[in-house]
Amino acid sequence: MKTKNTWKHLAAGVLALSLVTGIVPFQPVTQAVTNLTAISASADTFEDLTYEIKEDNTVSITDYTGSDKVIVIPSDINGMKVTSIGDDAFLSCSLTDITIPDTVTSIGDSAFAYCSWLKDFTIPDSVVSIGDGAFSGCCFNLTSITIPDSVESIGSGAFINCSALKKFTVGENNKNYSSYNGVLYNKDKCCLTRKTQKIDTQNAKKAAKCFKTMIHLAAFIIL
């Protein structure tokens, strides 16, 4: 546990540094460096998961101490619904496949950051918010992301440094986000929220019209 938490602290520090320095051209509000896997005295465990019981008697997953490559997060623990994945909960884990239940409404800051081997997961159509840096640094195998209709907010740098990421797909009925040729935009396709590794000419033209309002654009390549 001590070694795992040490690496979590280091990874969170790297994430925070990358998000506030010139490495990326925007100033996010990620607080990963101040949310370093601190587990309260009242935290409980279920198999390899650590969780906290919230005021509404639902559960937030706060840590994972296992070494499995494939896990299924339960929809309830001891009769209490699992509604959130907490900040840093799976930070730097070696997971390749994770199933998130459709009871979860929020994914916290850096929740899956630096899960470098993650390649198979679905954001369920219950999630309303995705935190800052939630999937940042999922580098090698994560090639596509589907944003369901339910998502209302995506935090700063949520998918930054995902070098293999090539495509975003957004639910047609999402009121806040849209996608075009695999690129994630806000609903009216003016603000480029997240580019994939390359951007085609049509998307580049759309982006060029929006420089004054763009908030998350990194350097792009016109094909």
Q: Note the pLDDT of residue 144.
A: 92
Q: Note the pLDDT of residue 163.
A: 86
pTM check: above 0.85? no
Phi-psi region of 78 (alpha: psi -120 to 50; beta: other; left: phi over 0): left
- Judge whether residue 197 has pLDDT over 70: no
pLDDT digits (tens, 9 = 90+) for 67-105: 999 999 999 999 999 999 999 999 999 999 999 999 999
Rounded average pLDDT over 107-132:
95
Which residues partner with 60 through β-bridges?
52, 84
pLDDT digits (tens, 9 = 90+) for 37-54: 344 435 799 999 999 999
Q: Note the pLDDT of residue 221.
A: 33
Structural domains present in the chain: 2-165 (3.80.10.10)
Separation CA 135–CA 157 (nearest Å): 8
Return the beta strands (E) in the chain as ranges: 44-46, 49-53, 59-64, 70-72, 76-77, 80-85, 97-99, 106-107, 129-130, 144-147, 153-154, 167-170, 177-180, 183-186, 192-194
Strands 44-46 and 49-53: antiparallel
Kindly report the length of the chain. 223
Q: Note the pLDDT of residue 24.
A: 44
